[in-house]
Amino acid sequence: MIIKKLLDKNIFKKIDTISNPPIARSNHAAVLLNNSMIIYGGWDGTKTLNDMYELSLGNIFYFLINSKILFCGIA
């Protein structure tokens, strides 16, 4: 679920996506990159997730980038 805060009115608004979102998760990482939000991994309540999705903020559409990340590290 995507929630947008309207700062000028101090209210929250639910935004519907035009694609199926990834499964609900906690303990994930997310970063804004240009006009997208990249979502990586997390916990679905029973198992650790290591998938990566992109949410295009222009059209509110989710894309699966990779269903299984083998290794992520900082050089």
Q: Is 71 inside any structural domain?
A: no
Strand 2-6 to strand 11-15: parallel, antiparallel, or no bridges (unpaired)? antiparallel
Residue 1's pLDDT band (boundaries 50, 70, 90)? Answer: confident
Which is nearest to 1 in space by CA: 15, 12, 18, 19? 15
pLDDT in tens, 27-69: 999 999 999 999 999 999 999 999 999 999 888 999 999 876 6
Which of 2-6, 11-15, 30-34 is predicted least confidently?
A: 2-6
Q: Is 74 inside any structural domain?
A: no
pLDDT of residue 56: 92
| CA–CA distance, 28 with 42 (Å, rounded to integer) | 4
Q: Is 75 inside any structural domain?
A: no
Residue 68: C-alpha distances to residues 23, 35, 43, 53, 71 (Å): 14, 24, 14, 11, 9
Q: Residue 72: is its pLDDT beyond 60? A: no
**What is the total count of domains within the chain?**
1
Full residue range of the structural domain in which residue 60 is found: 2-66
Q: Is 15 inside any structural domain?
A: yes
Q: Is 26 inside any structural domain?
A: yes
Q: Residue 70: is its pLDDT beyond 80? A: no
Q: Is 72 inside any structural domain?
A: no
Q: Is 6 inside any structural domain?
A: yes
